[in-house]
Structure 1
Amino acid sequence: MTPTRGGRTGPDKQAARRRQQRQMASAPLFHQRPPFQGYQEWLIPHSATGRFMVNADAPAESRAFFSRLEELLLPLYGGRIPLAATYLDDRIREGSIPLAGSGPHMVRRIPIRELAAHLGDHGQPDATECASDLCPQLNCSSGSHDQAEHAVWQHVHHLHAAGRLLLDDHDVVHLAEPPRQPGGRWRLMDEETVAAPRPRSLEGA
């Protein structure tokens, strides 16, 4: 191949850059390395079966946990789940989320039913427009099946998968903006943070 001249980028580099940009846009949590521990380890199912390898004699709680991941979270996170998503799921099931405020050390717990009002204008459809035909095993915080609450659950996970929400190391949720360039910085509210090391996968859990 003829070397490039005058600072121009050759076809191979252009294709690689476009591929990297597509990866960044489609899976920012995996390819953009958010700056918290929950994004350094990933739950990835077996490549041939698309399921997690769980021993038949594993405790019922463990089997239920991985079944929930397969049925509910894998489709939302493109087939691989950061540990942070499981922490977020736990907070939602508790019925409220600790949301970071605009000032330092300002955190307040937002009831799930009120959360959509805070998140509806951050690049995704309003929670009331999200599909709510989700499995009843979501275990609504009210103790009963609540379709509106399910829609908020899905909306929050969509925002998280898109990199518009991040969980810090204390499980506090931050509004976020992914880096615009490879190796760039994540923005939390008005503060820029340094990227963490590339996530380490947990193959087959």
Structure 2
Amino acid sequence: MAKKAKYLYRVKDWLLLALVAEKLRLHDVIQLVLDNLCLFCRADERELPEEARDCIKDRDWARIQDLRLIDKNLLNKREFYVDEIFKGLRLLSHQVLYFDGGILPNEKIFNTYQDYKVAACSYCRSLSSDEFHRELISAHLWPLCAETYKERVIDLLHVIRDMEERTLVGRHCNQLTHLYDHLRRMCTGLEH
């Protein structure tokens, strides 16, 4: 069950499941809660994010807080996700810049683009460097520096999805389509 329920955070009051899982010692379910909670953590904050509270009553909220779910491991996982997301954005930045300049990647670089899903597929309407960098600037993600990003992983994923939606033309995908899908899958454990 736990392996299939990757979007637990979409369920109302999903953090209550942590109390049940803790009581019944359901380690897979606790891990599922932690995997979802990681998306809502801010850098260096060990308090439960208020956004995850939904309609949880004060008494239950206090009990969930007593579980001390946010620890160094969870914050390290958040940092890993942020680093990987910014690495993907940097690779896409290089890819569109080189493409606009008529510079073709060597096989090693192209394989890296494919691994991070920033290589254009045969159906893509490729982003221009100007278009992509304008989107990064308007989303306040430029310059691309993971160390300065202190907000939630889920917000970063939503920003990338919004950038992708604004740059789509017709039915064609673009590099942001594939990058967003790759990052979303990575952060929800749906990849590999």
**Same fold? TM cut 0.5:** no
Indicate the structure whose relative CO is greater, using CA pairs within 8 Å and at least 6 residues apart.
1
TM superposition score normalised by structure 2: 0.32
Q: Higher helix fraction: Structure 1 or Structure 2?
A: 2
Q: Higher strand fraction: Structure 1 or Structure 2?
A: 1
TM superposition score normalised by structure 1: 0.31
